[in-house]
């Protein structure tokens, strides 16, 4: 059975000193949880290399704290001022968030761009964490499942089936991100189950793919969310910037696993 995967998305937050403290706390919490939970963090770009070295300096002690990037370029090396390519990131990360709702909304990332980024991430043998989800208007119009299915199939067009073990899907109900209003555990379970069905239909067997819930998850609702059979992890925003809250969520995941 695949352990639940908890990822802290730090977004545009932290000084380097704050980032170091969060990594230290995450390593401590991961050690306490053991192998029953997988844990990753996505610091801002400037901190990645140094934090990677900090984690590596811990040695082979079983922490297995994954380092991730919050996005990458859809391009390869070249005259693309300001872009950070997946090849650059491959030296210090294990996974890359792709198609996060904020990237789609604020930076105009289309399905074509998201698909190109998934491809770039795979080229570097990294794990793409593909984010999909609907806005409030789409949900109220009864279009949530159609929107999520469209985003999934567009992003995964041509995805090599022998690389499925590298794919993570994160369901983001956009109306529940940064609002403090989380979808209910039942809402999360229903959509994650729907996503599993779409993936099974697309690939035949999607059991190697982790499906996360991401939308105002915190230390108060983590256990309830993770107890649902189709919720295989959490993509965590604000709560991951609070060391005690993130540690509590990791501990909750371990308890749900019976660790």
Residue whose C-alpha is closest to residue 191's, from 215, 207, 208 = 215
How far apart, in whole angstroms, are the C-alpha atoms of residue 136 and residue 225?
A: 20
Query: What does the alpha-carbon distance between residue 53 and residue 4 come to, in Å, rounded to a whole number?
Result: 25
Which residue carries 């041509």 as its tokens? Answer: 158
Q: Which residues are catalytic?
A: 100, 172
Q: Which residues contact 34 (CB under 8 A, 6 or more apart)?
A: 62, 254, 259
CA dist., res. 43 & res. 11, Å (int):
7
Nearest to 126 by CA among 74, 151, 91: 91
Nearby residues of 135 by Cβ (< 8 Å), 6 or more positions away: 174, 175
Taking alpha carbons only, the member of 86, 103, 82 closest to residue 95 is: 86
**Which pair of tokens denotes residue 72?**
């990458």
Q: In whole angstroms, how far apart are CA 225 and each of 70, 97, 197, 222?
A: 23, 21, 19, 5
The two structure tokens encoding residue 147? 């929107």
């Amino acid at each position: 059975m695949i352990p639940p995967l908890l990822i802290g998305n730090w977004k545009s937050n932290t000084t380097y000193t704050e980032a170091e403290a969060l990594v230290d706390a995450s390593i401590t919490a991961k050690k306490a949880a053991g192998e029953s939970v997988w844990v990753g963090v996505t610091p801002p770009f400037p901190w990645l290399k140094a934090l990677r070295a900090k984690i590596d300096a811990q040695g082979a002690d079983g922490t297995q704290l994954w380092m991730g990037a919050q996005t990458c370029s859809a391009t390869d090396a070249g005259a693309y001022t300001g872009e950070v390519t997946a090849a650059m990131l491959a030296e210090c990360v294990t996974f890359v968030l792709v198609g996060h709702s904020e990237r789609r909304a604020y930076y105009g990332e289309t399905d074509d761009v998201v698909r190109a980024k998934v491809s770039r991430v795979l080229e570097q043998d990294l794990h793409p964490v593909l984010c999909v989800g609907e806005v409030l208007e789409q949900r109220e119009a009864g279009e949530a499942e159609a929107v999520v299915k469209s985003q999934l199939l567009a992003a995964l067009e041509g995805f090599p089936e022998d690389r499925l073990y590298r794919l993570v899907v994160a369901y983001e109900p956009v109306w529940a991100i940064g609002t403090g209003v989380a979808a209910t555990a039942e809402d999360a379970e229903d959509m994650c189950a729907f996503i599993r069905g779409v993936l099974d239909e697309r690939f035949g067997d999607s059991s190697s793919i982790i499906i996360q819930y991401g939308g105002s998850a915190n230390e108060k609702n983590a256990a309830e969310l993770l107890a649902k059979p189709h919720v295989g992890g959490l993509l965590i925003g604000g709560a991951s910037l609070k060391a005690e809250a993130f540690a509590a969520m990791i501990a909750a995941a371990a308890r749900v696993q019976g660790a």
